[in-house]
């Protein structure tokens, strides 16, 4: 096949991958039961601790983010278990469905899309649920561009009930800081292809001592995603099944880049550039989908002007400007676009995307105040 030309990937994942990370994948193949892989696994595990801000050893699964979330569900939830799940978008819905597939009872706390359930509403559901097993939270809803602002506070509420606290941080960790030890997160999951700016295919997962002890005492009815087995093999420098070795090499370099930049600075960069993106939308006369109180720093969801064709807009962005952005989900599929503000994103990426959007909107018949937009783009960032 003819390989595609290089484009600016402004999707909510996968994201642009630095050459330094891509180049790591051409290293020779090795024995995954040999000393070289043991060293590689030890190093990426240690480096992952910086991302999760934990003293425990995170697990790295050869699976997409969904695989990591499924592992987090099947290792904690048993038939009949009651689990509270805030639902404010597609991925919260999927998470609650995963709980039910594992035999659990998902107690959904819902809100209108574009907002998030209040902490009071979630707290009430937790406190009124007898024999509560766990609280599962999607931190950043990739489908709506909303972020929950009370991750730490919800951890305290879950701890009061003695419930496990599980956080899906697939599209946020690295763009946000979630210190799992400090905030009492028992299981936290993220993906390689989002804020880490690595290729897709790996899930990273932290576990508290409490969660690790539980999965060893009461193993799940799965084999590949048995996290107790994963922990046991990790203690001997191996994975239970064949790992995606080339992706481990890429992750190793991506984590180096995270550590070199510093997590605090990376989080600040995502926040600053998100503000720039939202200012760009406003300058072009576009509205963000998310309530301003809950706007995500990693997924920018914007509404199209009336009458603008989604497929044509994104096609022109792609073919005429070499920029790839995402469509909406479900009922918002033709009404919304989504832009990933993740990984190695920079001011240049924001400016290039904004300029292409302005040209495409103008070509589509939407008036853009170019002077106002230029003032935003010329502003320091």
Please give the average pLDDT of every successive group of 10 residues along the chain, which has 381 residues: 88 97 98 97 98 98 98 98 97 98 98 97 98 98 97 98 98 98 98 98 98 98 97 97 98 98 98 97 96 98 94 97 94 92 97 97 92 87 53
pLDDT of res. 183: 98
pLDDT of res. 380: 61
pLDDT of res. 331: 78
pLDDT of res. 263: 98
pLDDT of res. 131: 97
Task: Provide the angle, in degrees to the nearest 10, between the axes of the packed helices 119-128 and 151-160.
Answer: 10
pLDDT of res. 5: 86
Cα angle for residues 170, 173, 179 (degrees, 5° grid): 125
pLDDT of res. 61: 98
pLDDT of res. 202: 98
pLDDT of res. 381: 53
Note if the pTM is more than 0.85.
Answer: yes
Domains by residue range for the chain, with CATH: 8-12+262-378 (3.90.1150.10), 19-261 (3.40.640.10)
pLDDT of res. 132: 98
* 189 vs 137: CA distance, rounded Å: 11
Phi, psi of 287 (to 5 degrees): -110, 140
* 129 vs 107: CA distance, rounded Å: 9
Contact present, 173 and 158 (Cβ < 8 Å): no
What 3-state class would DSSP assign to 110? strand
């Amino acid at each position: 096949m003819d390989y595609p030309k290089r484009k600016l990937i402004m999707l909510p994942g996968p994201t642009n991958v630095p050459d330094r990370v891509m180049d790591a994948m051409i290293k020779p193949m090795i024995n995954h039961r040999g000393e070289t892989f043991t060293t590689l696994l030890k190093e990426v595990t240690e480096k992952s601790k910086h991302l999760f801000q934990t003293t425990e050893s995170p697990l790295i699964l050869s699976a997409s983010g969904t695989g990591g979330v499924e592992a987090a569900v099947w290792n904690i939830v048993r038939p009949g278990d009651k689990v509270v799940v805030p639902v404010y978008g597609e991925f919260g819905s999927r998470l609650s469905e995963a709980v039910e597939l594992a035999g659990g009872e998902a107690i959904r706390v819902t809100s209108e899309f574009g907002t998030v359930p209040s902490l009071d509403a979630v707290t009430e559901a937790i406190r009124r649920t007898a024999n509560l097993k766990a609280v599962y939270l999607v931190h950043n809803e990739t489908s709506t561009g909303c972020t929950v602002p009370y991750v730490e506070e919800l951890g305290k509420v879950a701890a009061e009930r003695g419930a496990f606290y599980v956080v899906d941080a697939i599209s946020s960790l690295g763009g946000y800081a979630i210190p799992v030890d400090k905030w009492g997160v028992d299981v936290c999951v993220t993906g390689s292809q989002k804020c880490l700016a690595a290729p897709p295919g790996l899930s990273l997962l932290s576990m508290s001592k409490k969660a690790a002890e539980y999965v060893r005492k009461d193993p799940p009815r799965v084999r590949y995603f048995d996290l107790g087995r994963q922990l046991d093999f990790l203690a001997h420098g191996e994975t239970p099944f064949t790992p995606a070795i080339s992706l481990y090499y890429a992750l190793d370099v991506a984590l180096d880049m995270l550590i070199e930049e510093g997590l605090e600075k990376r989080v600040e960069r995502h926040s600053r550039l998100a503000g720039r993106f939202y200012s760009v939308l406003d300058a072009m006369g576009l509205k963000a989908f998310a309530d301003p109180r809950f706007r995500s720093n990693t997924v920018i969801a914007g509404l199209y002007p009336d009458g603008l064709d989604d497929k044509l807009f994104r096609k022109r962005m792609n073919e005429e400007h070499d920029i790839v952005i995402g469509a909406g989900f479900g009922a918002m599929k033709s009404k919304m676009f989504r832009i990933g503000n993740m990984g190695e994103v920079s001011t240049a990426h924001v400016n290039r995307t904004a300029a292409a959007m302005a040209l495409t909107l103008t070509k589509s018949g939407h008036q853009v105040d170019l002077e106002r937009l230029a003032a935003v783009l010329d502003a320091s960032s």
